[in-house]
Amino acid sequence: MTDGQRVPAVGDTVQDTALDRVGVVLGYEGPHLRLCPINGGRYWDVDPAAVRPIGPAEYLLAHLRAVNTRSRRRL
- Cα 41 from Cα 46, distance rounded (Å): 16
Whether the model pTM is above 0.85: no
Residue 4 has pLDDT above 70, yes or no: no
For 22-74, the pLDDT digits (tens) are 999 999 999 999 999 988 889 999 999 999 999 999 999 999 998 898 888 77
Band of pLDDT at residue 12, cut at 50, 70 and 90: very high
pLDDT score at 6: 78
Nearest to 39 by CA among 71, 72, 70, 16: 70
- Cα 64 from Cα 57, distance rounded (Å): 11
Residue 2 has pLDDT above 60, yes or no: no
